[in-house]
Amino acid sequence: MGAWDFGPFDNDDAADWSGDLHETLPAKRAAFIRETLEEVLHENEYLEIDAGCQAIAAAAVIASALPGGTPLAAPYAPDFLTEGGELDLPDDLPALALRALDRVAGDDSEWAEVWEDGLPKALAALQPIREVLATAA
């Protein structure tokens, strides 16, 4: 994985996922986000880093669309959102995203293992996202 910082889009997997979300038909974007989160939640074994990074990006996208969320400005966030586009998301996605973030940061997760030495900083970078999601959930 090419990771260069702790932000939700600061790695190759999240950047690729953002491009895929951007290219998804607008009516199918919520389903694409849901599939990303459910993939993480249905993994009962070791969670690979690519799925974890994609779930973090999905959670950040959801949080950005919620009241109190910060609009995305990261260079590798989905272009349609950084250009002012919007998402129509089901009400259950914030809770799903919180559960996915717990899985990514928990045991048997390559993401948590990779950031082991910097895990407090990595978790702190997720905290604003978690707070917005928790308020909506």
Please tell me the pTM assigned to this model.
0.95
Give domain status of residue 2, yes or no: no
Indicate if the pLDDT at residue 6 is higher than 90: no
Q: How far apart are CA 62 and CA 46, in angstroms?
A: 25
Give domain status of residue 46, yes or no: yes
Mean pLDDT over each residue of the chain, to the nearest integer? 93
Give domain status of residue 1, yes or no: no
Number of structural domains in the chain: 1
Give domain status of residue 20, yes or no: yes
CA nearest neighbour of 8 among 49, 53, 39, 41: 53
Full residue range of the structural domain in which residue 53 is found: 12-136
CA nearest neighbour of 58 among 36, 86, 82, 90: 36
What is the model's pLDDT at position 137?
A: 85
The whole-number average pLDDT for the span 59-68 is 95
Indicate if the pLDDT at residue 3 is higher than 80: no
Give domain status of residue 7, yes or no: no
Buried b (16+ CB within 10 A) or exposed e, 89-105: beeebbebbbbbbebbb
CA nearest neighbour of 69 among 32, 28, 30, 97: 97
Cα separations in angstroms, 24 against 11, 30, 78, 79: 20, 10, 11, 12
Which DSSP symbol is given to 117?
A: G
Indicate if the pLDDT at residue 25 is higher than 60: yes
Give domain status of residue 73, yes or no: yes
